[in-house]
Amino acid sequence: MLVFFIVVTAVSVAIAVNSRASDFEEQVQNELVLQSGRALSVQFNTSLEREWDSIRAVADAIAGAPKAELDDFMDAVPAAGGRIQWAGFVDLAGIVVSGSGRIWEGNDFGERRFFREGMSGEGVGNVFETSAFSSSEVPEPVKLVNFSMPVLGGTGEVEGVLVYSVRIAWVEALLNRLASEMGLEIAVLDQRNEFLVNSLIGTDYEIPEAIRSNLQLGMFDAISLTDAGDPGLRFAVLPSFTLQSMPSFGWNLVVALREDGVSGALPKLRNAVFVIVAIAAGFVIAVIFALFRFLVWPFKRLSGDAYALAQGTIVYPVYHRSSREAETLSEALALLQTRLEVAEIKQKKPRFTVVPHKSRAG
């Protein structure tokens, strides 16, 4: 009965451990994909922050500069690393005074979002596509996003707007490289909930509709969930994932991580726990059998001998050295048996009558 109880207890513990391990595994996987998304976001924001540091430094440097000096600055910006396609200075009327390679000079950008926001502070425009930079070498249109900020004079008055046209191809390459290093699949959606980057394209998976719906409502917080269509793919969503030190991009980051890349060690841990529980249960059973053999069984044997003696049956108790108590009881029963035998022998001893012998006559 005791062994049955131990086995039932061990099985119950194993079931409880398995259930708890599954919950823990779920929490670990969710936290891992979420933290992976945040780590990617930090590295991406670090690169964006350098571009904002550059535009702020140039805006300070070109205040009150003549056209020739403006041209030098605007031409130098795209040459520094290939992240910026075009840089330009727009005056208060919205006219491009200076632009990289003299492109768009004289154009009226007064109605463009980047100009309106740049007049009052730092701003980020919508992603747009242009063929202004197409050539025989690069015939395709390029996608750009404008960073803009005001250029202030010595007394703090606004002289115009400085704009950087950042290449979306650079943004995509940077995010894909970071994602590849972390073993992630990613997608970035803009303010219109359209893809800027999507490494899920070309696979059998799409962003779950639940994520899209919540993004459209603008109510999504940083969460993680498992796509019902693919239990092996776990998602994390980080809305507006750019730093607060920069103007809001309105971009949302969706990170996907395959469970087989994060859960390999947890089943091993769970199996190890099962083995430990089984070993512990076996050890307890072995100890109980040893205690039974060393303590209980001798007393059971001796109690049987005592009962037999009480019934008048002649038995010969076996001397046990299992414990001090068993030894004492064994000695007492042996002494009692000896005395009973002596008493019985005395009781059954024949009594001889002395009969005088008659003499025979010679």
- What is the DSSP secondary structure assignment for residue 187, as one 8-state letter? E
- Residue pLDDT, tens place only, 251-260: 888 888 776 6
DSSP H or E segment with residue 167 = strand 158-167
For residue 126, which phi and psi values (nearest 5 degrees)? -80, 155
SS3 helix, strand, coil % of the chain, rounded to 5?
50, 20, 30
The one-letter code for the residue type at 128 is: F
Longest distance between any two alpha carbons in the chain, whole Å: 181
Residue 37, classed as helix, strand or coil, is: helix
pLDDT band at 217 (very low <50, low <70, confident <90, very high): low
The residue with greater pLDDT, 223 or 164, is: 164
- Residue pLDDT, tens place only, 270-297: 666 667 767 777 777 777 777 666 666 5
Please indicate whether the domains covering 2-49+171-261 and 64-166 agree at the CATH topology level.
yes
Residue 323 has pLDDT above 60, yes or no: no
Which percentage of the chain shows pLDDT scores above 90? Answer: 28
Average pLDDT, the chain: 76
CATH number of 64-166: 3.30.450.20
Answer whether 74's CB lies under 8 Å from 85's CB. no
The residue with greater pLDDT, 185 or 165, is: 165
Distance (Å, whole) CA 121 – CA 143: 24
Token duo for residue 352: 């001889």
Q: Which CATH class is domain 2-49+171-261?
A: alpha beta
- Residue pLDDT, tens place only, 41-87: 889 999 889 899 999 999 999 999 999 999 999 999 999 878 999 99
Prediction pTM value: 0.65
The one-letter code for the residue type at 174 is: L
DSSP H or E segment with residue 97 = strand 96-99
Distance (Å, whole) CA 66 – CA 79: 21
Q: What are the residues facing 163 on neighbouring strands? A: 88, 148
- Residue pLDDT, tens place only, 24-33: 666 677 778 8
Domain coordinates in residue numbering, the chain: 2-49+171-261, 64-166, 268-347
Distances (CA, A) of 36 to 93, 183, 254, 256: 45, 9, 11, 9
Query: 166: burial class by Cβ within 10 Å (0-12, 13-18, 19+)?
Result: buried
At 284 the pLDDT is 74
